[in-house]
Structure 1
């Protein structure tokens, strides 16, 4: 099996520890273990006591009953039995694609978004057609293009909703049209939904719109605990969930009993966490909007309530060279847009600490001034 290098992950693996000001990440500022424990309002004593008595065996293989129930409660049509815990959303995407896609299958992938969603099907021998995003349309695709791409033998449509790195969102009306097209040919629709909006932007999961919808999510992005590596795949289709179970046995055993317990703690207190993260996003997006308005070499289609954004840079060299020099000379880390097949852009993860964001944007602007002197 041949597979392309994973652009964004390779970049971060190599460079994120070099940064002194990291404004590249796509999660809301991570919670500490102490903050998660203290969500009960008792300085973390209850959770600490529970963890002291946890037996470090394999635990619940598919996730504990409470985990599955709490995840199921976020959907209208997904019973707890159809929720399978995974190693983050990357594990859920890999499981669903591995379970369903075979050599010669035809799939359609929203592009460019998260590379995993099109390069894993390619590595399995599928024919992958791209449903392209358009910056001039607010980083949204057109339904007309999807109608041209879909075929009677299309096996799956893969979405990243909301989208990494652009922060765009397919609304319910467009999702319903995607589902109608998929249903007409019997195709699955997989949606990686880890960037569920934090503001009042309406959001509908594909699992609540389509009997063959596959929703992928995790606690990494909008829930601020990427370090526990807990995600899930959810579907209203019991037969499909059983298929995932079979393939899951080959890819993982369990998420780990400690991580599961922490995941339950997060999900129990999801409203507290989302309120905290909503405030971070609102505050920091205002900082970014003010910076873009004042920075002549930056333009942005602003994200739809999600913690990741994509900035267009007016610079006389390629984005990867620029980002490498920026890191070397200032300690500021961005992800080059080329790592997402978006040359001339960079991923700006603006939901970090507000002071770090302001420092990073100031240093970025100062660095951009070198190009003004050459005009």
Structure 2
């Protein structure tokens, strides 16, 4: 099969290690292993438990403790509906690999995480793009979705909140989306790694709204632990059984140490989320102040989500600009051509506050060449 190169990952693989100020990423500033082990003031006990671990395969689908912690994140999910995966990328791949066949019709949000449209294409599906709109605060049009959907549409793929823009589909939007999908019996695959941390914003998981909803997530973004390669997929019991069959061909297990750390992180998620809410709020305020002063940048601000999409007023192709910016100032962004959106770049503002401040200052200094 043929598949396109993964634009964002290809870019980061080439340039990420050259950055002094990495403001391209989409995670919230990562925890250290010591930070994780210190959660709950159980470090010595946890180290003893880790040292005693037998390095076998462990639990194929994830430990029962892991499944119970994940199930508790949802309103109507039992542990038997949870499958552990290699990050959310593994979860998305599993769902698409198990359900999409040649000539199926798939609708994908666009731009979004590239897996959600290029994997279906590689499997022979007919993929229609459901475009996000800047004039609608980077949300897509539900009226346009009604024009795109067909009687035999197999799946609608979304990323909520959206990567790269940080736009959020709230409950009312999702409920109308579900009503459209129900008309034709389409699955909805929702990549939910970017949990909004804005107070009083109601954003339910798709699996809690729709029997044919499939939710994927991981520890990488909102929980600040991308180094533990743990994700999960949650669906109804029948669909989960389908996934089990295909999962056996894609992985055996995530590993006993990763599972152990994932359970500990999820048990103490409120401590992590409290830390991250404060960091996101602080850094977003810094970005808002910077945008107000930077005449060559505009931004539709994300909803306390760890990724944003700045618009650059520059007389230069954005990738060339980003390469020069990195080489001359050490600042890393992800350019527009990785999202097919000329004139924009992904700004990952939820890095450490010090890195953000220094990176934005260097970016502004670099932009003065056009004044």
TM-score (norm. length: structure 1): 0.98
Distance in 1 (CA, whole Å) between partners of 2:13 and 2:46 is 32
Tell me the CA shift for residue 295 of structure 1: 0.1
Q: How far off is 1:46 after superposition?
A: 1.6
Separation of aligned partners in 2, 1:239 and 1:352: 40
Check whether the contact 1:85–1:255 (CA below 8 A) recurs between aligned residues.
yes
Deviations 1:273-329 (A, max 9, x none): 000011110100000000000000000000011111010000001110100000011
Matched ranges for 1:330-345 at <5 A = 330-345=329-344
| Matches for 1:181-196 after TM superposition, within 5 Å | 181-196=180-195
**Conservation of the 8 A alpha-carbon contact between 2:284 and 2:304:** no
SS in 1 for 2:182: helix
Secondary structure of the residue that 1:346 maps to in structure 2? strand
Matched residues in 1 for 2:16 and 2:175: separation? 39
Q: Map 1:211-226 to 2 at 5 A.
A: 211-226=211-226
Cα separation, 2, equivalents of 1:251 and 1:362 = 44
Q: Are 2:171 and 1:204 aligned?
A: no
Contact 2:104 2:154 in 1 (8 A): yes
Instruction: Specify every segment of 5 or more residues in structure 2 that has no aligned partner in the other structure, as ranges.
Output: none
What residue is the counterpart of 1:156 in the other structure?
155
Following the alignment from structure 2 to structure 1, what is the Cα–Cα distance between the partners of residues 142 and 228?
37
Task: Check conservation: 1:40, 1:46, Cα contact below 8 A.
Answer: no
Q: Is the 8 A contact 2:189 2:213 kept in 1?
A: yes
The alpha carbon displacement at 1:87 in A equals 0.2
- Alpha-carbon deviation of 1:199? 2.1
Deviation at 1:263, TM superposition (A): 0.1
Matched, 1:169 2:168: yes
Range that drifts further, 48-57 or 197-206? 197-206
- For 1:91-170, what aligned pairs fall within 5 Å after superposition? 91-170=90-169
> How far did 1:66 drift?
0.5
- Runs of 5+ consecutive residues of structure 1 not aligned to the other structure: none
Give the aligned CA root-mean-square deviation in angstroms. Answer: 0.6
CA offsets 1:60-119 (integer angstroms, 9 cap, x no match): 100000100000011111111010000000000000000000000000000011111000
Matches within 5 A, 1:53-64: 53-64=52-63
Instruction: Give deviations 1:4-60, integer Å, cap 9, x for gaps.
Output: 010000000000001111100100000000000000214x11211110111110101
